[in-house]
């Protein structure tokens, strides 16, 4: 079993393409992913699981139906399962996600923005 | 369900006592904990689970039986289940841990350093 130290800034710098999720670690049956984004994503929820976001670079707004929260570098938030949300990165941001393996980025909404190509970096 | 933004540096600054694990978030049946440490911990393993460490402040050395890795602020590492390890913070460090609820800090070794008093901050 390989044990690696993962530097989040270095991994972020490796990512050249926006909106493509990269696998950076695994924790039991959970995946730790990194994505670089500059977009307003779509409304969706994950009926089966909570989802942890940790902002590594920049800031993200996380819209819920009743309010919008800002999550900045060095901050994390857990979206409970079943809660509709929409991540918004108006400026370039890098976000780490932790969720069970196989969790889709578009949750129950699906569609063209679904990214199933999870390259390990 | 309360949804909170958790600022890791701010939470770290709140912690006054060393070596007392604090609960800062939950992800399904996993707990996200923060601990401020300055000690050489004990050899132990977690036979049932992997364990994720992310260094929030300072640096930690993580000893394995065959080598020692340094994990600095902004870096994470996953210790696979069953692998003996010993965290060492020679200088003051703050570390975030993610592992299933009920995972003991001393793993299969137990003893006086076991901390079961997990206050939420």
Look at residue A117 and tell me if it is in a domain.
no
Mean pLDDT of all residues in A89-106: 96
Look at residue A71 and tell me if it is in a domain.
yes
CATH number for the domain spanning A45: value is 2.60.120.10
Mutate to test the interface with B, among A10, A78, A103 (most CBs of B within 10 A): A78
Mutate to test the interface with A, among B13, B32, B78, B96 (most CBs of A within 10 A): B78
* pLDDT band (50, 70, 90) for residue A2: confident
Enumerate residue ranges in chain B where pLDDT < 50: none
Q: How many domains does chain B have?
A: 1
Mutate to test the interface with A, among B76, B77, B100, B101 (most CBs of A within 10 A): B76
- Residue A1 is predicted with a pLDDT of 62
Cβ distance B76 to A25 less than 8 Å, yes or no, reads: yes
- Residue B85 is predicted with a pLDDT of 97
Enclosing H/E stretch for B22: strand B22-27
Length of chain A: 121
Nearest CB neighbour to B64, from listed A3, A26, A74: A3
Look at residue B2 and tell me if it is in a domain.
no
Look at residue B46 and tell me if it is in a domain.
yes
- Residue B121 is predicted with a pLDDT of 95
ipTM: 0.95
Look at residue B89 and tell me if it is in a domain.
yes
- Residue B2 is predicted with a pLDDT of 85
Chain B positions with Cβ closer than 8 Å to A? 1, 3-9, 25-28, 30, 32, 49-52, 64, 69-72, 74-81, 83, 98-100
Question: Is residue A83's pLDDT more than 80?
Answer: yes
CB-CB neighbors (< 8 A) of B30 in chain A: 30
- Residue B1 is predicted with a pLDDT of 62
Look at residue B106 and tell me if it is in a domain.
yes
- Residue A40 is predicted with a pLDDT of 96
Sign of CA dihedral A22, A83, A71, A60: positive
Look at residue B99 and tell me if it is in a domain.
yes
Could you tell me the residue range of the domain that residue B70 belongs to?
8-120
Q: In this predicted model, what pLDDT tens digit does every residue of A101-114 receive, in sequence order?
A: 999 999 999 999 99
Cβ distance B7 to A52 less than 8 Å, yes or no, reads: no
Look at residue B3 and tell me if it is in a domain.
no
Q: In this predicted model, what pLDDT tens digit does every residue of B51-63 receive, in sequence order?
A: 999 999 999 999 9
Q: In this predicted model, what pLDDT tens digit does every residue of A54-77 receive, in sequence order?
A: 999 999 999 999 999 999 999 999
Mean pLDDT of all residues in A77-81: 98
Q: What share of chain B is helix, strand, coil (3-state, %, to 5)?
A: 5, 45, 45
- In chain A, the residue whose alpha carbon lies closest to the alpha carbon of B100 is A28
């Amino acid at each position: 079993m390989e044990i690696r130290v993962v530097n989040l800034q270095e991994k972020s710098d490796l990512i050249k393409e926006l909106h493509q999720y990269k696998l950076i670690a695994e924790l039991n049956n959970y995946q730790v992913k990194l994505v670089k984004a500059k977009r307003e994503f779509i409304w969706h929820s994950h009926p089966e699981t909570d989802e942890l976001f940790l902002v590594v670079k920049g800031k993200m707004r996380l819209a819920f139906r009743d309010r919008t929260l800002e999550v900045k570098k060095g901050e994390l938030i857990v979206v409970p399962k079943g809660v509709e949300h929409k991540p918004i990165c108006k400026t370039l941001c890098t976000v780490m996600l932790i969720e069970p393996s196989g969790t889709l980025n578009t949750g129950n909404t699906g569609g063209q923005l679904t990214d199933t190509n999870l390259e390990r970096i």
